[in-house]
Structure 1
């Protein structure tokens, strides 16, 4: 039987890179969750791999859309083995100055979204003793938090890392962990870094999306249950970073 994946943020950036990689993998079906599942690149990929890539409407923290996506996956595939929650946002505004609605939106996407997703697909993952992986950041580590005006991103990623610990504690039969892909050359990451004042020579060091996707999938494939997790994996290292 094929391994069934769900990747959120599947129409662009790291999410699309993961969908592309999985489309070429043997015995794999990937549901590509996206706000706009009919976007050009995703539609083209799905047309090229009609039996392997299935676009699906999914918006971060939208409870009804997440439940509908889970129902559709169950009807079409009958199971779900791996979920990779990629969707996230960042802004270059200090916590002292950020407007509360903007902070709440960042929290909704980066932290509440993965929780809504997990609650929606938990029953499917339980059938396969599956894996739930949240794409996070070392900047969500209190010990290694990014300095400067990126407070909402850091705080909400720290909350996401904490969330994975609680979900893992409550679901010992599942493999649940966050992963840091490092600095990746996505449009959003490059803009975020530029807004933070990152020098051009550092921007050039961003990893290609296809390499980041391959690194993430390698760790996902190798991941096993750990009794006392201490942190999350930095896929570009790799090294384990303490919370």
Structure 2
């Protein structure tokens, strides 16, 4: 069902993005992914080639529209089409709002929210051609505010609202769109080093399997917003 399909994943060098790329490659999808650092992209590309040779690593900063336009052009040149876009790139700085710097705010909003728009802006015409799928990775922080989360909450609340409104526009072109709102995921996010202590959390491959299930759904149905959490929170 997914053979000959092509996906582009932002923030794909590790964590959630890498987990999604791995699962899609194992299920016959050709995958392009991006990251900001060349060394991280090259490392992830070599690791992902163990699962399939149909992989392309791209250096791109989602805060830069031209970068994303060039990334989509690279996908077209390599694979000839684009069916699925997963806007996953994100970062978090957690401080009291009075201690949050303008630079930190702009970096979070630029990556987590503006970057989601730029990725869609760069790819939407290709998705129209394939009647494709656009998926964003937000967070449960997009519905639940918390202490020291003003900037992160603002960006993720924005992603949820943006994706839901974009879904209404995109379905007119037979493009499906879903926002996924995961809880705690075992990644390197916010300086964490995954270990046995994270075994209770959502794993990156769990996110990959969720995306796979979404993409396999009948064209007539659209899960527009999904909350995704660990069964039992850790201590």
Residue aligning to 1:97:
99
Unmatched segments (≥5 aa) in structure 1: 193-199, 239-243
Distance in 2, matches of 1:50 and 1:210, equals: 16
State the structure with bigger RCO (CA 8 A, min sep 6), 1 or 2: 2
- Quote how far apart the aligned CAs of 1:121 are: 0.5
Which position in structure 2 is the counterpart of 1:161?
160
Matched, 1:69 2:48: no
**8 Å CA contact retained: 2:12, 2:33:** yes
**Structure-2 change in CA distance of 1:112 and 1:12 (3 Å):** same
Q: Residues 221 and 16 from structure 1, CA distance in 2 versus in 1: closer, same or farther, beyond 3 angstroms?
A: same
Q: Secondary structure at the match of 1:171?
A: helix
CA contact (8 A) 1:137 1:181 kept: yes
Alignment pair present for 1:79 and 2:81:
yes
In structure 1, what is the equivalent of residue 205 of structure 2?
210
Tell me how large the CA RMSD over aligned residues is. 2.6
Q: 1:180 to 1:124 in 2, by over 3 A?
A: same
CA distance in 1 between partners of 2:151 and 2:128 (Å): 32
From 130, 133, 155, the equivalent of 1:131 is 133
Structure 2: gaps (5+ residues): none
Tell me the TM-score normalized by structure 1.
Answer: 0.82
Asked whether 1:185 is paired with 2:186, we answer: yes
